[in-house]
Structure 1
Amino acid sequence: SVDTAQPTTSVTNAYLAAVITVLKQTTEALQSQSRRLDEQNLRLDALERNQRSQRNNSPPRRHHRSGSPPRQETVKQRRPALERIEQPSKKRD
């Protein structure tokens, strides 16, 4: 037997055409967003490459240096050993 309690909804050609139009618009919007993201990714990649090349051109950091000990300060800038030893006792007074 046919269930007559539920009203039958007829899907018209106009309704289907409207759904298709909305789906096309959604697809175009998503494709546009995808293109923008691709462009942003390209810009980010270029920025990262540029930063890496700048880091490579900078002088080497301390932990990248050879096994030799770090350079000593020039003698003029160093205090004599005796003065370094006496200084803490002055602070206690």
Structure 2
Amino acid sequence: MDTRALIGWNLRKLRVGRGLSQERLALEAGIDRAYVGRVERGEENVTTAVLDAFASVLDTHVRDFFAVVPEGEKFPEPLRPGRKASSDR
């Protein structure tokens, strides 16, 4: 797995694990939502400033975007589409 794909994999894993949509992550990080999608797909070369912004929103460390993916681990499932129920907010 190349570095861009590794960062994208870990970004999605962390984002989904915290229950954040790409839109919410982008809004809180001050980044375009479409850019977040491209990063998760491994299509962008991210800067350290962007990684810092993601880490801040996800309450994690930049090093977590470089964590080795265990062999056989499946790509994180997307969040359920649509708005959260008011009781989930």
Between 1 and 2, higher relative CO (CA 8 Å, sep ≥ 6) is seen in 2
TM-score w.r.t. the length of structure 1 is 0.22
Which structure has the greater CA radius of gyration?
Answer: 1
Quick check: which one's helix share is greater? 1
TM-score w.r.t. the length of structure 2 is 0.23
